[in-house]
Structure 1
């Protein structure tokens, strides 16, 4: 420990921009030795303070005319506030210990507001019932997910007036590793998070709209960036069991001694197994197996190496989406099936290495390389006997994929006169190679009747960006630009005459402005351009037309803390897309939907009643419309117009903790003229735990009031076995009924 402090002191001495008359320091997590970015530091008798940078460093002016008493107050949400006695011009290291969450520690500053709500969401990570990492997406205010194919398939996502399908308009990453699959066999941007063990999630960062230079392709409605913990507070063995033959086991094992952890070296492994038949009449036989390992260590005084490896295997059967008429007629029940040969199999193996170099206390250089091997096989039947009255309409979507990538980012802080300047420069590439990407007509999963599409894809994306934030007093200006180059190659095994290569460059500028009136109020305007790429097969089929449709957005908002225990965020927003022009993987066709426009209003609130009871609520309004369609036919199918989420969280000192959550989605148009409506729903979840130092027992109940609700809905034309003519109506996947699970965790 002495060596660690000595190293920090030597490093501080090189930080020339911190002049005499200041107190310099670094704030770190006492357990993991990780730096705490955006911790708030102030003199005890002063209202204003500073926040720590990416490396945890701060510099606070020692103003003699303010008659400082030499005591610093250091606070960070989720940690116990500390008082530090200092003697004028010196350097300190502040080690923070984890403690109860306290909204009073949230201070509105020009630097920290972007993360205010995100940091607090750690409450939700610990207390909301989850079965997979996909459920953690719900911690993003206004984001909804829906499962409609057996539990192993990536969930459908809704956000800001978008039916994002499985990821077409949201950029998702884990530890910098891209989750979205471009030119995927099932749908563009397919984002399957099931390879992440939810208990390992340390933070969920997010942003809505196309305003962030670090997030390029698919980041039109926004981005979600998850990060796993760098170290375990304790090793854990957890078992869960519940209805529908559900069993889940999790093991998280810390591998190193406390002596090594004190030196900044951490390593752990984790595993997860899940099995469930689900509530359906035909069992899902759903199983998922995950392994995850992470190692990070200091290399010399100024470098940190992080290595990650993980693997996922999952397979399942499914009953799919069923038509309303089959249920109303009594042909099947709500949890029945018309074709129970649906289902799938998927696996993904990831490896990544990140080297973080601290060139000085105000300069950080990160280099990240990653690789993924991925396989996907999905059988579906949405139309039953519409196209083939004899064999049925079952389809198979299949691919094997390699992903190679590298990203480099340089962050630097400096002063330019009285302005504070924060600069970020980045560059990188991603290469996706698929083999035998397939869409075929099958029967009973075994026999291929006809290939609709079969080929190999190579898609490359190189990028470079620059982002400048300049700050003085109450103003903060953020200006950035991103350049992306794409090369699409498709070797069509069914059409030798096809021209295989297309390429395109797009530039995406961003301008964001913040004005912080005081520690309780901030106004902001965000503007930017983003894009989503089309599937490589679409690009080639259409001679390179509309390769990278652009999105233009703007937010005007206010962040308020009117009382010590209440935090509010209100934003009015606008988003225009040049073309919602995506590959419809289920049919192997191109479905351009033209220009679209969305306007909306987001409201988020968090309130702390006392030291153990918290409340939050999010209300999201949107008006999504097609631009070029005649009035009355402008609706965007399945796009949400009114959603709300929220609930109560509690954490008592005696170990009792838990939450009661709700989510509401309003009725919405299922087709362009709103003649078919997808029914809304309100459903809730309950979690109660008793947590002690060595163990935890808990009860999780999804849908405790046993509401009948439809998790996913589509306006689909289909024909049943003996029907003379096809019928177009709502097809749905029933939402989970009352579902209780018990859990026991042992800590050591």
Structure 2
């Protein structure tokens, strides 16, 4: 996408939002009330760690990137260790989730996570998201519910889109480091039919010495029809982006002054991506139950050039590599919930089936120099299908006791066709795997203000299926050990919810989660590989309090402990490297008259960077501020300030070996220099915006 001028694009887009497509015929329009899903409450919640974020709260928060919206889930941290066109780095419940493994995300019913992805398993890129269109963020943690499948071991977040806007808008933003953004959106409703459209353009250079030159275009077109009892929706999305990236750099070079904190080791790193999708949903709610059916189709393209070890593997040409992904993904799911009676007790039976098929035309790994390919390490064509069925029975035992039992079965079939000349045929193969997961939950209402919960269950995450057929490591040429395609996890949670009224909710959850195989980050390959079994334990607490009519207070705290299980290999310890240990977040929001303001603090404590816990990361604290002022019914002005305190923390830290060209030339490299590699969080920056409502 070529460079663009916001004002020029605005001249084209303002007529769009004033067109019959965007502007409602007021004589036909019912009053539109924009609301998100209600939070879980006493008598309806099934665990202490599930809920729904209030729309006014997460929309008022300043967001440096679209993926930051998942921080509405208590305990979640979203950072970035590369360019803004790449998926966020996520942390939750003692996990460095990489780009989404063990944290399942859906947008408007479509899964975002990508299995067998070119960069990392479970890659969840939310840069196609338009935050202003999100109506609600519903979340769950732990493998306790039958309708939650792949990648949801630590938790899941479901982001819903609006079907209608109160009025068409044009929003223009400018900020530090050449940031600029234009959003135009509107909807038209006649009778029970609504069309919604949105177009977003964004550019950004960031604080990096090598300008990011982000160029992003995003569009949404949505049709919905029906009522709250029965209806359907069709949604089309289109997104493309390209960027330069500054990856993590060695701390030793920053300390010596050889590069700055915002310097780059390879100015040709970066990427481009494209995502096109069409999805549809139909639902019917009645006294005899609820039926939901949905389906989607997606076309996806991804190219990423990275360099994490510089001249360690190839002292002559360097270690830059390209990762590619060309796929089409399809899916469908249906569910039915029916009230029933068991032994004279009222209950609710839920059953469902899900299918996802990925047809990956190319998932590749190539050695490159300045984005020019030198050699092919892997080039595979992959087909995989995951079919799932589940059932869950809820029962009200008495006025105080209720519970559920559930069962989920997942079956995976895959076909890997290697096309690399060296080892492609040796790493090809077909296979299948299956897993079953029991679920259990119990709730006890102590008083109308207090409720206790017990939840347990099994779950799983899938591995990259290329690891299930591999025989030869293409990097070294040595024999490689195959891994299971599906990896089981087991978890349990004891929770408490206190809710004396609608204005105050507090929860506490004590949890444990064990995995049969951990995914470990590999710096020189830019990917993850299966590792040892692990166990995590933790304690979480949340507070949501509407202090007075205009003020809201939120606070979240999470403590966790992650350890590998079994005998440690020689030279290794039992700490799960990069497993987050302490997270604290707090925010205050004011909504009154023409003003909306939000102040948010996020703290992430030190964590082990190696399994022996001899190297630890530094703590990070981030303070953001956002404010909006409605000048009149049409014009709203905004200001966002990120990293208000100007802290010099790091978004990510890793500990591994690397070598620079100078270290190779001086003979200091040897087998590599172990060091922490960091990607700094962005310095203090500001963005101003103006929104015109028609």
TM-score by length of 2: 0.89
Larger radius of gyration, structure 1 or 2?
Answer: 1
Q: Shift of the alpha carbon at 1:362?
A: 3.6
C-alpha separation in 2, matches of 1:489 and 1:146: 34
Gaps of at least 5 residues in structure 1 are 1-28, 39-76, 78-105
Gaps of at least 5 residues in structure 2 are 1-28, 472-480
Match of 1:126 among 44, 59, 83: 59
- The aligned residue for residue 79 of structure 2 is 146
Decide whether the 8 Å contact of 2:361 with 2:381 is kept in 1.
yes
Once the two structures are superposed, the pairs formed by residues 589-668 of structure 1 within 5 Å of their partners are: 591-630=529-568, 633-652=573-592, 654-668=593-607
Q: Shift of the alpha carbon at 1:499?
A: 4.7
- The aligned residue for residue 432 of structure 1 is 358
Equivalent position SS for 1:326:
helix
C-alpha separation in 1, matches of 2:453 and 2:36: 25
- The aligned residue for residue 677 of structure 2 is 731
- The aligned residue for residue 16 of structure 1 is none
Q: Shift of the alpha carbon at 1:694?
A: 2.0
Decide whether the 8 Å contact of 1:464 with 1:484 is kept in 2.
yes
Q: Shift of the alpha carbon at 1:418?
A: 5.5
Once the two structures are superposed, the pairs formed by residues 98-137 of structure 1 within 5 Å of their partners are: 108-112=41-45, 118-137=51-70
- The aligned residue for residue 554 of structure 1 is 492
- The aligned residue for residue 338 of structure 1 is 265
Deviations 1:395-432 (A, max 9, x none): 00011000011111112224557632112111121100
Q: Shift of the alpha carbon at 1:660?
A: 0.5
Equivalent position SS for 2:59:
helix
Equivalent position SS for 1:158:
strand
Flag the 1:241–1:267 CA change in 2: closer, same or farther, 3 A: same
C-alpha separation in 2, matches of 1:449 and 1:214: 45
Equivalenced residues, count? 644
C-alpha separation in 1, matches of 2:34 and 2:407: 30
- The aligned residue for residue 332 of structure 2 is 406
C-alpha separation in 1, matches of 2:648 and 2:229: 56
Match of 1:710 among 623, 629, 650: 650
Decide whether the 8 Å contact of 1:274 with 1:289 is kept in 2.
yes
- The aligned residue for residue 17 of structure 2 is none
Flag the 1:620–1:302 CA change in 2: closer, same or farther, 3 A: closer
C-alpha separation in 2, matches of 1:284 and 1:547: 36
Select between 114-123 and 329-338 the one with higher mean Cα deviation: 114-123
Once the two structures are superposed, the pairs formed by residues 89-488 of structure 1 within 5 Å of their partners are: 108-112=41-45, 118-256=51-189, 260=190, 263-298=191-226, 303-358=230-285, 360-415=286-341, 419-446=345-372, 448-471=373-396, 472-488=398-414
Q: Shift of the alpha carbon at 1:668?
A: 0.7
Matched, 1:522 2:460: no
Deviations 1:60-106 (A, max 9, x none): xxxxxxxxxxxxxxxxx8xxxxxxxxxxxxxxxxxxxxxxxxxxxx9
- The aligned residue for residue 627 of structure 2 is 688
TM-score by length of 1: 0.83
Select between 301-310 and 205-214 the one with higher mean Cα deviation: 301-310
Flag the 1:305–1:115 CA change in 2: closer, same or farther, 3 A: farther
Q: Shift of the alpha carbon at 1:364?
A: 1.7
Q: Shift of the alpha carbon at 1:180?
A: 0.3
Matched, 1:677 2:616: yes
Flag the 1:265–1:416 CA change in 2: closer, same or farther, 3 A: farther
C-alpha separation in 2, matches of 1:689 and 1:37: 24
Flag the 1:634–1:552 CA change in 2: closer, same or farther, 3 A: same
Flag the 1:370–1:638 CA change in 2: closer, same or farther, 3 A: same
Equivalent position SS for 2:647:
coil
In the TM superposition, structure 1's runs of 4+ consecutive aligned residues that sit over 6 Å from their partners are: 33-38
Match of 2:460 among 526, 531, 549: 531
Higher RCO (CA-CA < 8 Å; seq separation 6+): 2
Flag the 1:616–1:303 CA change in 2: closer, same or farther, 3 A: closer
C-alpha separation in 1, matches of 2:229 and 2:51: 28
Decide whether the 8 Å contact of 2:64 with 2:642 is kept in 1.
no
Equivalent position SS for 1:334:
coil
Taking only aligned residues, the RMSD between alpha carbons, in angstroms, comes to 2.3
Equivalent position SS for 2:300:
strand
